[in-house]
Amino acid sequence: MAFRLRCQTCRQAFAFDPKSEKWPDECPICHTHMGYNDRADDDIVMPSIRTMRSSATDKVYREMETASEKRAEAAAEMAGVPTSEMSGLKITNLSDARREGDVAAPPVTAANNSVVAFMEQTKIGGFQGNGSEYSGAVQVGPAPNAGARARSMLQQHHTNISGGAAVSDRPALETMQPGYRRRG
């Protein structure tokens, strides 16, 4: 059974049959020393075992990177700028150390995302605060308290069309209850 070995210097693959020939010391193509036999006999070596599943997954990620380069070139052509101007569109940092459950995209951190940086700076992200200090701006501007006014108007309209039967915060649900009586 023949194998294909790859030279680490010239990156060319060549056939090798362990039954008929001894392990090569140098690349038959570029004649550089490969050092396969320089290892001590008691060294633990982990073989590279490629399965169809890992090959298919790797191919998908490589195609994503290639497609992102093509999109960057197309965007540069459409905008009339050099491709280097659109280099931000290229995917270049997919993780090669994938294990089951890993995500190939880099994590979103304050270092690479302005929204996360702002949330960490002001401490209003997630469950760290209620954000009420940012609600003061609703009382000024071209339409102050527009949301509260719209809600009041809708509630008043609903009360008018229901004949005064619905007046709570959730008027659409209160008249649907069997045995509903308006509180007086």
Do residues 104 and 92 touch, judged by C-beta distance below 8 A? no
Mean pLDDT of the chain, nearest integer: 75
DSSP 33: B
Residue 16 has pLDDT above 60, yes or no: yes
Question: Token digits for 161?
Answer: 């069309």
Report the distance separating Cα 49 and Cα 86, nearest Å.
37
**Residue 166, exposed/middle/buried by CB under 10 A (0-12, 13-18, 19+)?**
buried
pLDDT on residue 182: 67
pTM above threshold 0.75:
no
125: confidence class by pLDDT, cuts 50, 70, 90: very low
Over residues 1-23, mean pLDDT:
81
From 67-71, 142-146, 166-170, the region with the lowest mean pLDDT? 166-170
**In Å, what is the CA distance from 132 to each residue of 62, 88, 113, 139, 144?**
46, 36, 23, 13, 16
Report the distance separating Cα 95 and Cα 106, nearest Å.
7
81: confidence class by pLDDT, cuts 50, 70, 90: very high
Report the distance separating Cα 182 and Cα 126, nearest Å.
40
Top mean pLDDT of 28-37, 40-49, 119-128, 174-183 is at 28-37
Do residues 120 and 110 touch, judged by C-beta distance below 8 A? yes
Q: Determine if residue 13 is left, alpha or beta; phi over 0 gives left, psi from -120 to 50 gives alpha, anything else beta.
A: beta
Domain boundaries, the chain: 1-40, 50-125
Helix residue ranges, H only, the chain: 52-79, 114-122, 146-161, 171-174
Residue 134 has pLDDT above 60, yes or no: no
From 45-49, 103-107, 109-113, 141-145, the region with the lowest mean pLDDT? 103-107
